[in-house]
């Protein structure tokens, strides 16, 4: 029989009593979501690797503030990730001693195809970030949390510590601007009709 599957809240209780294995299990569970969130905000896989570790180290440091929501720690972790991304350099400096101990993309070396794919993805993500650059930072935050990482508006409001109504209005504004942007790109190939009087 396999080990019983503990909820995030139960695991976090164990983490609070310095249970390293529980911390490891939470890392296994959420590292991928945090990693992809960090990548989508930075367009750099290697920065995202560092920031993923930073998020969990920061989670440990701020463990007294942790509030698992609906038995999931992910909204809170992505909230931490959001701050880590904004202050990427400061966050990495804080944990540089620990980050220095981690090997850097070692197992990529053998897979050149994957390296190419990653480079392409970074280029694509750069382009996407460039196109949404004109959105306000707060709008980009809710867009990334809800549309890119699949949080509900309720969860995003927990992650950012703002009311759900605010998430809703920011998301609506961000999506509307994106729709305009896509329409602009689609239409730009057409002739603009001018009605001569």
Partner 1 sequence: MTPFPQLPPDRSLPRQRHAAARAQLQRYATSRRERVVQRWRGAAVAMGLGLGLAVAGGAAAGTVYLTRGPIPTVNGRLDVAHAPDFIRVASSGLAVGYVPKRYILPSGPGTPANGLVGEIAPVYGPDLKTLVGHMYPGIGYVALGTSLRSVSCTPESDEENGTTSTLPCPSVTETVPDVAGMSTPEGVVALQEAGVLAVVENAHSRAVPGGHIVRTSPRAGARVPARTPVVVVNSLGP
Binding site for partner 1 (CB under 8 A): 15-21, 23-24, 27-28, 31-32, 35-36, 39-40, 45, 49, 52-53, 56-57, 60-61, 63-64, 95, 97-98, 100-110, 118, 121, 124-125, 127-128, 131, 148, 178, 181-182, 184-186, 188-189
Nearer to partner 1, 5 or 101 (CB): 101
Which residue lies nearer to partner 1 by CB, 117 or 165?
A: 117
Q: Least distance to partner 1 from the beta carbon of 127, Å?
A: 5
Nearer to partner 1, 1 or 109 (CB): 109
Tell me how many degrees the CA angle 171-176-182 measures, rounded to the nearest 5. Answer: 125
163 contacts 135 by C-beta, under 8 angstroms: no
**From the CB of 67, what's the least distance to partner 1, in Å?**
13
The answer to whether residues 106 and 49 touch, using CB atoms and an 8 Å cutoff, is: no
- Judged by beta carbon, residue 3 or residue 196, the one nearer partner 1 is 3
Nearest distance from residue 95's CB to partner 1, in Å?
7
Evaluate whether 160 touches 145 at the Cβ level (below 8 Å): yes
In angstroms, the CA 148 to CA 112 distance is 27
In angstroms, what is the minimal distance from the CB of 154 to partner 1? 22
Whole-number Å distance between alpha carbons of 184 and 141: 23
Whole-angstrom Cα distance, residue 118 to residue 122? 6
Alpha helices in 62-136 (DSSP H): 74-86, 88-94, 96-99, 112-131
Please report how close the Cβ of residue 81 comes to partner 1 at its closest, in angstroms: 14
Q: Between residues 121 and 164, which has the closer beta carbon with respect to partner 1?
A: 121
């Amino acid at each position: 029989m396999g080990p019983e599957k503990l909820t995030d809240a139960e695991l976090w209780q164990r983490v609070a009593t310095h249970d390293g294995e529980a911390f490891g299990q939470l890392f296994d569970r959420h590292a991928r979501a945090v990693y992809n969130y960090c990548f989508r905000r930075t367009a750099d896989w290697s920065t995202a690797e560092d920031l993923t570790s930073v998020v969990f180290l920061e989670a440990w440091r701020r463990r007294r503030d942790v509030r698992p929501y609906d038995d999931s720690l992910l909204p809170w972790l992505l909230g931490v990730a959001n701050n880590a991304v904004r202050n990427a350099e400061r966050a990495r400096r804080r944990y540089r001693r620990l980050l220095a101990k981690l090997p850097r993309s070692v197992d990529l070396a053998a897979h050149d195809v994957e390296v190419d794919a990653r480079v392409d993805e970074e280029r694509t993500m750069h382009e996407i970030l460039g196109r949404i650059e004109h959105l306000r930072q707060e709008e980009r935050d809710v867009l990334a949390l809800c549309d890119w990482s699949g949080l509900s508006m309720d969860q995003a409001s927990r992650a950012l510590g703002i009311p759900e109504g605010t998430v809703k209005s920011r998301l609506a504004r961000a999506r509307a601007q994106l729709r305009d942007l896509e329409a602009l790109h689609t239409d730009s190939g057409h002739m603009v009709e001018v009605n001569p009087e």
